[in-house]
Amino acid sequence: MEPVTTPKARQASLREHNLGLVARAVFGAERPPSRAAIAAATGLTRATVSTLVDQLVGARVVRELPPEPGNVGRPAVPLVPASRTVVGLGLEVNVGYLGVRAVDLAGDTVVERIERGDFHASDPAVVLPRLADLAREVVAGLDAEGVRVAGARLALPGLVDVRDGHLVVAPNLGWADLDPVPLLGPLRAADDIRVRIANEANLAGLAQLRFGWFAGDRAGDGDVLADVAERSATEAPDLARGGTTFVYLSVDVGVGAAVLLEGALYVGRRGWAGEIGHVAVEPDGPLCQCGARGCLEAVAGKLALLAAFGRGPSDDLDVDEIAVRAAAGDPEVTDVLERVGTFVGRALAAVVNVLDVDTLLLGGLYATLADALHGPVVDELRRRVPALPERLVVAAAPVVDHAALTGGARAVLRDVVRTPSAFVGASTTVSPADTTERAHP
Amino acid sequence: MEPVTTPKARQASLREHNLGLVARAVFGAERPPSRAAIAAATGLTRATVSTLVDQLVGARVVRELPPEPGNVGRPAVPLVPASRTVVGLGLEVNVGYLGVRAVDLAGDTVVERIERGDFHASDPAVVLPRLADLAREVVAGLDAEGVRVAGARLALPGLVDVRDGHLVVAPNLGWADLDPVPLLGPLRAADDIRVRIANEANLAGLAQLRFGWFAGDRAGDGDVLADVAERSATEAPDLARGGTTFVYLSVDVGVGAAVLLEGALYVGRRGWAGEIGHVAVEPDGPLCQCGARGCLEAVAGKLALLAAFGRGPSDDLDVDEIAVRAAAGDPEVTDVLERVGTFVGRALAAVVNVLDVDTLLLGGLYATLADALHGPVVDELRRRVPALPERLVVAAAPVVDHAALTGGARAVLRDVVRTPSAFVGASTTVSPADTTERAHP
């Protein structure tokens, strides 16, 4: 007979499972839990929890705060994610810059390097080694401080096939059919930092999670995908918490989106979900670089904005100036943004109609223009979504500063929290360091 | 501190968890497993599996086939879902009919009643008691045969709020702001059959699952919602099996969709996902009943088809005749379907761009017209989806005959397989019956 599907928890060893359970209890808590609170929440014995917490503390994944006197018994020791001990590395090549950012388990940026440039129609065999040089500097500094690098994610503005991890095409870089990781080369001599690639908009979307940023696991409870008949008011997932189900719009020359459902990135069959830039908003409109007419990207991307203001495709677009003029009521600007906002609203209406999401975050160029775009976007949503959410949020994305770097680093750290056992096992090879010391400046 | 999130498996008792594990092992297997095979697949001991299987057999959820001689030891007894012992009840009110269908754990229809009528602008206080009468006849017949009714789902063509289970609006019935369950009244004297409501397109979509129709659980492993960086070729969920990730289009006067992701229905924040009928495909086109212009429903729904053929809104639409004329190359028909197919392709292109799905099933009126619509739909998808799936499937839905009834019954049976313990506990109150006898004709 065929093998019967087995839950993952059973495939993994019990210790590994429990270690992940305890790690998620620390990282998922809104307030720092004690060992006793973790035991109560997980159903594990206090002795087991203590052993596992000690391992996580020893591996510098979790940190103990000073004890707080409890009502009964010994003072409770609150547990929090460790600071400046373990980092994920976000890497990015985009049209206007190269970037490297190290983010720690507490969610703070420890060190970053951004190098501006024009990488439109560039050579990956030149650009990726440059990025690798930046990354090696960062890694060397972290190594010197005793900060461990758990892995790296390379964000690219294009279609990444998640099944085999190759870049299918990044039109605005002029790259196609490429495995970028070998071109980077090793990020340190030992060549032990694993690099994986992902779509820029997806990682930037991941950076927007406000609560429980590694919370992808929670979707694993089946809440998001619950059968319609399963749901009730009390079961409705996360409505009170908010902020974990949203569509994030990434806008530059290309227009993409990330679809976040209950804290988990939805990537689709091949990883190409979120291609909102090619939703038809003006079907007989101008040609898009994809060959179709009236795609959102063709009428509302950076090149369309430049053209609307009488600039050429290689000119700079000063969104700050546009935002100031819009706020002052400059009719040339408000006319353009009214039109662009209507198109954005039309594409988002399709998304809201199909996915029933209530939070739409404007990122990239639109983040700066969010105040001016808000009115026309919401007007078009009201026209085109019969089942409009009561609480509709259309707002600038909270993280706009190279968000894909933060998202890439977080994606690495999610893995640490999900399966800390691999990481705990490796901890003996790294020399301990004061967790409060300042890392590489 | 706040309670820490706990996996559901830990909240439930171990027995309940294991019983569900064994039930899913039987229902999820492609070939009937033996007790030994279930033990190997679940990691439970053979003794535990035997006890749990005996309980499922006793509750007539699982049935034993005649033993097959094995290579070593005692002959293995293959286990299959029981036939004609336990049913889910699908109920439906739609514009043209009332329906009741009982489906058993083996997936077969045991009994059904369909009553045709015109329920456009009808009174729910009249229509729902009529449906309840039909259902009571069906239930009485099942009771007489010793077939247990596990519950019922009422499919309605409108927006159902999954948070509190009320109907927000069903425009084509003329119903709004309604809790339909009390109007049905009890389906048997004991009033112990729980009825819940759901959207018609969602339930019809659920009926299309080809493999593992209760497989919503599998999405709970987090496969669908996996972080982009999690995926690899070997981990890509279910690509080989296929048939569990698709968008199902439900087309009558209203146009809706069901979004199935790895066997699980995606319903959105409030249960209103899949409202593809209001995606703008001709933004300056004709007015839709929702008030917007150029919605898919307005240019490609039943009323638009009737108008295109010079008929009035209350005339019958003979889709069989249209299909025959299209196959014969009648230019009047092919022109209309070319135009309709282009609009359908445009709305589906938005869905494929955003969700990266490769299987699009045409249901309702479109099922009959699928051959004629296929060309224009695929042409528009090719124009408008830069990342078109290699294996694109645009086809008539496999289950078209009142599919929401089958989907509703299956939704009930999924719950039985997910949490059989509640059901096993209740089995003593029902008299046993020969599992092979014929139920109510």
Does A21 sit within 8 Å of B231, measured CB to CB? Answer: no
| pLDDT beyond 60 at A165 | yes
Q: Which of A269, A381, A384, A406 to mutate to test the interface with B (most CBs of B within 10 A)?
A: A269
How far B320 CA lies from chain A's nearest CA (Å)? 29
Cα B35 to Cα A104, B14, B25, B41, distances in angstroms = 48, 19, 10, 10
Q: Per the domain annotation, does A267 fall within a domain?
A: yes
Q: Are A285 and A292 in contact (CB under 8 A)?
A: no
To test the contact with chain A by mutation, choose from B225, B339, B388 the residue with the greatest count of A C-beta atoms within 10 A, namely B225
**HEC assignment per residue over B118-144:** CCCCCCHHHHHHHHHHHHHHHHHHHHH
Residue A220 is assigned to a structural domain of this protein: no
Identify whether residues B90 and B30 lie together within a single domain. no
- Across the interface, which of B28, B257, B269 has its CB nearest the CB of A4? B28
Q: What is the CATH number of the domain that holds B297?
A: 3.30.420.40
Regarding beta strands B246-251 and B359-362, do their DSSP bridges make them parallel or antiparallel, or are they unpaired?
parallel
For residues B226 and B259, is the Cβ–Cβ distance under 8 A?
no
Domain end (from B54, B81, B108): B81
- The answer on B159 and B64 residing in a single domain is no
Name the amino acid, one letter, at A69: P
| B220·A225 Cβ contact <8 A | yes
A100 within a domain of the structure (yes/no): yes
B195 located within any domain = yes
Q: Which of B49, B241, B269, B393 best tests the A interface by mutation, with the highest count of A CBs <10 A? A: B269
Query: Is residue B20 domain-shared with residue B120, that is, in the same domain?
Result: no
Of A52, A81, A110, which residue sits at a domain end? A81
Whether the per-residue pLDDT at A230 is higher than 50: the answer is no
Clarify whether residues B107 and B149 are in a common domain.
yes
Most confidently modeled range among A18-27, A231-240, A357-366, B132-141: B132-141
Q: Is residue A45 part of a domain?
A: yes
The number of distinct structural domains making up chain A is 3
Please tell me which residue, A390 or B378, carries the higher pLDDT value.
B378
| Best mean pLDDT range from A37-46, A296-305, B428-437 | A296-305
CA A214-A217-A219 angle, 5° bins: 115
Residues A161 and A117 in one domain: yes
pLDDT value at residue A66: 93
Contact A165 B232 (CB under 8 A): yes
DSSP B151-215: EEEEEESSEEETTTTEEEEETTTTEEEE-HHHHH--SSTT----EEEEEHHHHHHHTT--S-TTT
Whether residues B245 and B389 share a domain: the answer is: yes
Residue A273 forms part of a structural domain: yes
Chain B hits for A261, Cβ within 8 Å: 225, 266
pLDDT for the residue numbered A379: 97
- B25 Cα to chain A: minimum distance (Å): 6
Flag if B224 and A266 touch (Cβ within 8 Å): yes
8 Å CB contact between B5 and A218: yes
- For the entire predicted model, the pTM comes to 0.83
Residue B4 lies in a domain: no
Angstrom CA distances, B189 to A48, A221, A232, A374, stand at: 52, 37, 26, 55
CA distance A181 to chain B (A): 14
Instruction: Count CA within 13 A, CB hemisphere, residue B119.
Output: 25
Determine the structural domain holding residue A283 and report its residue range.
Answer: 240-396
Q: What is the arithmetic mean of pLDDT over A28-54?
A: 90
* Domain shared by B244 and B391, yes or no: yes
**How high is the pLDDT of residue A9?**
44
Shared-domain flag, residues B113 and B193: yes
Chain B residues whose beta carbon lies within 8 Å of the beta carbon of residue A264: 222, 225-227
Task: Give the pLDDT score at A13.
Answer: 67
**Rounded CA separation A223/B266 (Å):** 10
- Same domain flag for B315 and B372: yes
- Same-domain status, A251 and A196: no
Task: Report pLDDT digits (tens) over A184-209.
Answer: 999 999 889 999 999 999 999 988 87
**Which chain B positions have a beta carbon within 8 Å of A389's beta carbon?**
269-270
Q: Are residues A246 and A344 in the same domain?
A: yes
Are A386 and B4 in contact (CB < 8 Å)? Answer: no
Interface contact B233-A164, CB threshold 8 A: yes
Chain B residues with beta carbon closer than 8 angstroms to that of A1: 29-34, 37
**Higher model confidence: residue A424 or residue B125?**
B125
CATH code at position A60: 1.10.10.10
A221 within domain boundaries? no
CB contact under 8 Å between A295 and B384, yes or no, is yes
* Closest by Cα among B170, B190, B188, B189 to B180: B170
Report CB contact under 8 Å: B5, A21. no
Q: pLDDT at position A294, please?
A: 98
Minimal CA separation from B373 to chain A, in Å: 19
Cα B412 from Cα B195, distance rounded (Å): 9
The count of C-alpha atoms lying within 13 angstroms of the C-alpha of B337, restricted to the half-sphere facing its C-beta, is 24
Q: What number is the average pLDDT over the span A50-59? A: 95
- With an 8 Å Cβ cutoff, are B228 and A159 in contact? no
Mean pLDDT by 10 residues, chain B (441 residues): 43 75 86 92 90 95 89 83 96 95 94 95 97 98 96 94 87 94 94 92 86 38 26 28 76 92 78 94 95 97 96 91 97 97 98 93 95 96 91 88 93 87 59 33 34
What's the pLDDT at A27? 87
Kindly determine whether residue A350 and residue B159, on different chains, have CB atoms separated by under 8 Å: no
Where does the pLDDT of residue A1 fall: very low under 50, low under 70, confident under 90, or very high at 90 and above? very low
The predicted model gives A273-296 an average pLDDT of 96
| Domain final position from B52, B81, B110 | B81
ipTM greater than cut 0.85: no
Q: Are the C-beta atoms of residues B83 and B402 closer than 8 Å to each other?
A: no
**Which pLDDT score is estimated for A261?**
78
Q: Are residues A326 and A377 in the same domain?
A: yes
Please compute the mean of the pLDDT values over residues A152-158 and round it to a whole number: 95
